[in-house]
Structure 1
Amino acid sequence: MIQDERFTVSRVPVVDTYALRAKVLRNGGPPEAARITGDDDPGVATYAATDADGTVVGCVGLFPEPCPDLPEHPGKGWRIRGMATEDGWRGTGVGTQVLKAALDHVAAEGGGLVWCNARTSAAEFYRRAGFVEIGEHWDDPEIGPHVRMWRAV
């Protein structure tokens, strides 16, 4: 658990993150629109930042999945999915601390390669956390421009 004076980051059931994921990542759709295939896999770890009222203000899902661009990389592959921060909480450290919890989880599991399909608007955030781009940028017709990024843990 990560404790900050404004929020707490802890592992949570994935369903606790659906409302925020839908709002931020699915243009305000219903919570069920944020469900990702594999969310219920027992190997998936979901972390959320909650404010003093218990409202989820940031979240991330960590899926055991090898990176398709780096199949020979030693160690287990972990994919970041469903990472979101509430608009009013961006720039306050919530995203950084939620991502730190995910990376700490990977380290506790023996390390490996962590990767994501990042929206290009979030690429700088991931770069600051040590991620590098791999491959070409592409446009997802439903959610916009992306780039794959990775880092070792």
Structure 2
Amino acid sequence: MIILKEITALETYSVRHPVLREGKPMESCHFEGDLLQSTIHIGLYNNAALIGVISLFKTKHPEFKSDNQFQIRGMAVLKHHQKRGYGHQLLIEAEVIAKKYNCKVLWFNAREKAVGFYEKMNYKIIGEPFEIEDIGTHFVMYKKLN
């Protein structure tokens, strides 16, 4: 049984660490803004086990005119649960929540290997690729919400 619910920043670490920060200290799972009241963390549970996370940060990207934007950060699904549609469910839930807050633009820095996944969900690349030290090539991707 799949359940999506709001969780704390600390709860995201059990998924962020092995997927996004493998081999790095646990402290690297903390993102600036994680503890702000405006930040929303969502967990995806499969039979009561947390297997996926996504976080929404109220952050404005200078490329977009709208003042009401959320940045997605820390989206991850545990490796042995990937390619089963859970990432899709997390992203849909993030869009639903963002719309409740009247968000006009969802954006994020996508790892190069994840671009195809996001493009299938109608996210678009803006600008040129860039490097994040010790992580790799990224692209800013976005979707305008109605």
Distance in 2 (CA, whole Å) between partners of 1:94 and 1:109 is 23
Alignment of 1:4-153 (within 5 A): 5=1, 7-52=2-47, 54-70=48-64, 72=65, 74-153=66-145
CA distance in 2, matches of 1:116, 1:26: 17
Structure 1 alignment gaps of length 5 or more:
none
Identity over aligned residues, as a percent?
Answer: 27
When normalised by structure 1's length, the TM-score is 0.89
Residue type at the aligned position of 1:60 = I
Conserved in 1, the CA contact under 8 Å of 2:70 and 2:103?
Answer: no
1:93 Cα offset (Å): 1.2
How many residues are treated as equivalent by the alignment? 145
Query: What residue ranges of structure 2 are gaps of 5+ in the alignment?
Result: none
Instruction: Say what the alpha-carbon RMSD is for the aligned residues.
Output: 1.3
Which secondary structure state, in structure 2, belongs to the residue aligned with residue 43 of structure 1? Answer: coil
Asked if the contact 1:19–1:31 (Cα under 8 Å) also holds between the matched residues in 2, the reply is no
What is the SS of the residue equivalent to 2:45?
strand
Task: Tell me the CA shift for residue 9 of structure 1.
Answer: 1.3
CA distance in 1, matches of 2:63, 2:116: 20
Tell me the TM-score normalized by structure 2. 0.93
